[in-house]
A and B are shown apart, each in its own frame.
Chain A
Amino acid sequence: MTSAAIRRPIDWTGIIFAVVLTLVIVLPLVVVGTWAFTNVWRFPSVIPQEFGLRFWNQTLARADVWSSITMSLTLAMTVTLLSALICLPAAYAFARLDFPGRNILFFSFLAGHAFPKFGLLVAIAGIFLQLNLIGTFWGVVLIQLVGTLLFMIWIPVAAFQSVDRRMEEAARDVGASPMRVFWSITLPQAGPTIAAAVLLSFVGTFYETEGAWLIGAPQVRTLPVLMISFINNQPVIQYGAVLSVLLWVPSFIALLFARRVVNSGSFARGFGG
C-alpha cells in the first residue's frame, strides 16, 4: 500500500474503474432484475410501461419449472452429501495420518485440472455410454461428484492442519478419548472452513451445467438446463428473467457466507496464483 497521505487527493483512477465496472458488471444484472418485475415493456420505451408480478405467477405455475427446481435441489444435495461422506474422512487422513503414497495420492486430485473441462467430460461420457449411464440421474451424480473432489479434500485438509494441536494434546492428557477430542476440539475449530467448502460445493453443483447437459439431457433437466431452453426457444422474455432471479438465490447465499474465503489471498493461491 502507498504511504498514507495526510491530505488525500481524489482517487480519479479508482472512480473511473468503479464507474466502468458498475456499468459493465452491475447494469446487465439490473436489467434482468427489472425484466423479472415487468408486466409490459415494449420497444422503444427506455423504462417498462407497466411493472408487476404477473409473470412470477405464470412462471411459478409451470410444471417444468417446479420439476427442474426439485431436480436441481435433489441433485445438489445428493452430490454434496456423498462428497462430504467420502471426502471428509479422506481429508482427515491426508492431514493427520501417514500412509504409503500419501503425497502422490494427495496431488492426484489435480489430474482433472490439467485438461480442458468439456473435453474431459466427453471422454467420461464415452465411458458412461458403455455403462448405460447416459440420461440417468446417477450418471449426472457421478460426473458432478468428480467435480467436487478437489475442493472438498484440499480445503478441509487445510482446515484440519490449522487446528491447534496443543489443545488436542492437552485434552488427551486429561483423559479424553480420541473420539471425544475429535468431537469437542478438532471439529469446532475446523468446522467453519469445512462448512464453507460444503456450501461452495453445493452451489457449484447447483450451477453445474455442462455435465448435466451432456450426460443428463433430456431425461435429467436441472434449472440451468431449463434456462438454456428458455433462452433458445422461449419468446416470453419475462419467464427467463424470473427464472434468472430464482436461479441466483443459492449464489446470493454463497456471496453472503463465502465471500471472506474468496477474498483471502490463500484462495487465489489455491488456484495457483
Chain B
Amino acid sequence: MTTIDASHPVLAAPERRRPIGLLLVAIPVLLVIWLIIWPIISAVIQTVWIKTPDGGGAVSLETYRFFFSDSYSLSNLSITLWTTGVCAVLLLVVCLPIALYLRFSDSRVAAYVQGLAIFPMFVPSIILSFAFIRVLGPNGTVDLVLNAVGLPKIRSPYLTPWGPVIGLVWDNIPLTVLILLSGLGNVSNQAIEAARDVGAGRFALLWHIILPRISNSILVAISFAVLGIFSAFTLPYVLGPAAPEMMGPFMQRTFRELFEPQTAITQAVITFGFCILFGLFYVRSVARNQAP
C-alpha cells in the first residue's frame, strides 16, 4: 500500500484543464473555510471588538487584559507552558535514542522495539488514562509490587502535574519516533563511515554528523508535539490536578460549565498566539514534503 509519498509529486502533470474540478472540491474546501478559517478570524474579531452600551462597537483589549491580570488564568498558563516544555524535552530524551538505535540496528530485537514504539498509536488516550491510574494510582500495580517486597508506597503522580506529563509523553512516542526515524533516513551510511575512518567517536559522530543532518526533523517533531500538548484536553482533564489546570480543561470548563464563551474564546486565541510559530513551521514542513 502506498500513502502520501514525496517521491510521487502529488500535484504533477494533470491531464486536462477542467474547471469542473472546482465543483468536485467545493464541499470540502467550503467546510475548511466555514469550520476552520472563519472560526479563527471570528474568534480574533470577537475578542477585540467590544459592543459599547450605546449600541456601537469599539476596539478593546479588555478580555486579554483580564486574562493577563487574573492570577488563576496566569497560573493555568504557566502550568501549561511547564508541561509542554517538560514533555518536549522528555520526548526528545526518550525518542532520539530509540530512533538512533532503530536506524543503525538490523537485529531481530530492533523489529520488536519498533513495534513497541509504534504501539501507543493504537491505544486511545482514554484507555491509557485508565491504565495509568491502575498502575501508578493509589493502590495500583506499582504499590502492590512495592508492598509485596516490603517497600513503602510511591507518591502517586496521579492528580499532580506529573500525571499529564507521563501520559502525554507516552501518547506522543510513536509519531516522534517515526518523524525522527524518517529524518535519520537522510543520514547516509557513507557519511558515518567516512567519519569513523578518521577516528570519530560515538559522541563526535552524533554531534557533528548526525544531529546537524536531522535538526529539521527534530524541530518538526517538537512542533508537532507542542501543538498537540499545549491544548491537550483528555489526559490533563483525567490525570491532572483540579487546580491549576492546563489550558485544555480550563477552556472547556470556562465554555461549558461557567458558560462564558467570550472568555473561553479569548483563552483559545491566547493558545493560538503561543503556538503560532510552531504551527507555521510545522505546516511549512508538511507542505514542503508534499510539494511537487
Checking B7, B131, B148, B286 against A271 with a beta-carbon cut-off of 8 angstroms, the contacting residue is B286
CA distance A129 to B101 in the complex (A): 50
CA distance A237 to B131 in the complex (A): 11
Task: Bits for A144-178, please: 1 = Cβ < 8 Å to B, else 0.
Answer: 01100100011101110110000000000000000
| Cross-chain contact B251 with A1 (CB below 8 angstroms) | no
CB distance from B86 to the nearest CB of A (A): 17
| Chain B, range 104-144, C-beta contacts under 8 Å to A | 104-107, 109-110, 112-114, 116-135, 139-141, 143-144
Known A-B contacts A158-B4, A214-B252, A268-B182; A127 and B279 likewise in contact (beta carbons under 8 Å): no
Task: Bits for A104-122, please: 1 = Cβ < 8 Å to B, else 0.
Answer: 0111111111111111101
CA distance A157 to B22 in the complex (A): 15
Known A-B contacts A44-B144, A268-B178; A90 and B2 likewise in contact (beta carbons under 8 Å): no
Q: Which of B53-61, B68-76, B203-211, B230-238 contacts A (4 or more CB under 8 A)?
A: B230-238
Contacts of A187 in B (CB 8 A): none
CA distance A198 to B275 in the complex (A): 30
| Cross-chain contact B3 with A116 (CB below 8 angstroms) | no
CA distance A267 to B286 in the complex (A): 11
A35 within 8 A of B: yes
| Cross-chain contact B15 with A96 (CB below 8 angstroms) | yes
CA distance A269 to B227 in the complex (A): 17
B154 within 8 A of A: no
Size class of the B contact interface (CB-based, 8 Å): 35 or more
Known A-B contacts A99-B20, A265-B185; A94 and B11 likewise in contact (beta carbons under 8 Å): yes
Contacts of A254 in B (CB 8 A): 122
A232 within 8 A of B: yes
CB distance from B37 to the nearest CB of A (A): 6
| Cross-chain contact A269 with B182 (CB below 8 angstroms) | yes
| Chain A, range 19-47, C-beta contacts under 8 Å to B | 21-22, 24-29, 31-32, 35, 43-46
B255 within 8 A of A: yes
CA distance A163 to B11 in the complex (A): 14
| Cross-chain contact B40 with A129 (CB below 8 angstroms) | no
| Cross-chain contact B28 with A162 (CB below 8 angstroms) | no
Contacts of A90 in B (CB 8 A): 24-25, 27-29
A270 within 8 A of B: yes
| Cross-chain contact B130 with A103 (CB below 8 angstroms) | no
Contacts of B189 in A (CB 8 A): 1
A75 within 8 A of B: no
Known A-B contacts A14-B107, A32-B127, A251-B123; A127 and B28 likewise in contact (beta carbons under 8 Å): no
Contacts of A24 in B (CB 8 A): 170
Task: Bits for B142-154, please: 1 = Cβ < 8 Å to A, else 0.
Answer: 0111011000000
CB distance from A222 to the nearest CB of B (A): 10
CA distance A89 to B21 in the complex (A): 9
CA distance A44 to B189 in the complex (A): 53
CA distance A155 to B36 in the complex (A): 20
A contacts with B: majority SS: helix
Contacts of A2 in B (CB 8 A): 104-106
CB distance from B150 to the nearest CB of A (A): 11
| Cross-chain contact B18 with A118 (CB below 8 angstroms) | no
| Cross-chain contact A120 with B126 (CB below 8 angstroms) | no
Known A-B contacts A268-B182, A272-B282; A125 and B261 likewise in contact (beta carbons under 8 Å): yes
| Cross-chain contact B144 with A46 (CB below 8 angstroms) | yes
Q: Which residue of B lies closest to A204 (CB)?
A: B124
CB distance from A239 to the nearest CB of B (A): 10
Contacts of A44 in B (CB 8 A): 144, 147-148
CA distance A20 to B242 in the complex (A): 31
| Cross-chain contact A4 with B261 (CB below 8 angstroms) | no
Task: Bits for B1-26, please: 1 = Cβ < 8 Å to A, else 0.
Answer: 11111111111101111111110110
| Cross-chain contact B39 with A111 (CB below 8 angstroms) | no
| Cross-chain contact B113 with A120 (CB below 8 angstroms) | no
B52 within 8 A of A: no
B271 within 8 A of A: yes
Known A-B contacts A17-B101, A119-B231; A97 and B287 likewise in contact (beta carbons under 8 Å): no
Checking B6, B252, B279, B285 against A266 with a beta-carbon cut-off of 8 angstroms, the contacting residue is B6
Give the 8 A-B residue pairs with the shortest CB-CB distance, closest first. A14-B109, A273-B179, A99-B21, A273-B182, A114-B279, A116-B231, A97-B21, A118-B231
Between A and B, 12 residue pairs with Cβ closer than 8 Å are: A87-B28, A99-B20, A107-B287, A111-B37, A122-B268, A124-B39, A145-B31, A196-B1, A213-B233, A261-B1, A268-B179, A270-B289
* Additional A-B contacts beyond A18-B113, A102-B21 (8; CB < 8 A): A1-B105, A98-B21, A113-B282, A192-B1, A231-B129, A267-B3, A272-B286, A273-B183
